[in-house]
Amino acid sequence: MKTITAEAIHNRLPQETIRQGSLFGALSDDCINFVLEEGRILELAEGEKVFDSGDKGDAFFVVLEGSLSFVKLHHGQLYNTRDISFGEEVGFVAMIALHDHAGYAIANCDTRVLEITSDLFARIHENYPFDFGVITLNLARDMARNIRKLSNALVKNAIKY
């Protein structure tokens, strides 16, 4: 895993493309630039972990290129609970709940992610209050979609009474 610059991402992804990601939808150019400049952009090779189970949940990660899988350990078994693609995040639930990560996120291919720490999240709130509201709505919408997918999977695999 190595860190790359915001400039390297901007050379690969124009602002209009970045804005198409679910987290970045409807954000101002200034806020997007702030987050890319102040966040840490990580480049992962296939099979590298962004975080591991039990790591402190003090940040979340947005996929800029590539994809991740979230894998949870339960009763000695590993379960891939979801895949995360462009513009989607992983780790927000642990960060906002003040929990350690309950699983690990692993790159499915060469992948670039933006790390948004709890400190950076607070600074977005301070410097871009309107955009912070938009980001919060975008995160809530993505969580709701994930809850729907997981509840559908539970129903599909449930034992009927």
pLDDT 10s digits, 16-62: 899 999 999 899 999 999 999 999 999 999 999 999 999 999 999 99
> Cα separation of 33 and 68, whole Å?
23
What kind and span of H or E run contains 158?
none
User: For residue 146, which of 94, 81, 97 has the smallest C-alpha distance?
Assistant: 81
pLDDT 10s digits, 66-125: 999 999 988 888 999 899 999 999 999 999 999 999 999 999 999 999 999 999 999 999
Give me the pLDDT at residue 67, please.
98
Give me the pLDDT at residue 15, please.
86
Query: Average model confidence (pLDDT) for the chain?
Result: 93
Residue 160 three-state SS? coil
Burial state string for 120-132 with b = 16 or more CB within 10 A and e = fewer than 16: bbebbeeebeebb
What kind and span of H or E run contains 21?
none
Give me the pLDDT at residue 74, please.
85
The pair of three-digit structure tokens given for residue 104, joined into one six-digit string: 């690990």
Inter-CA distances, 159 with 96, 154, 155, Å: 32, 9, 8
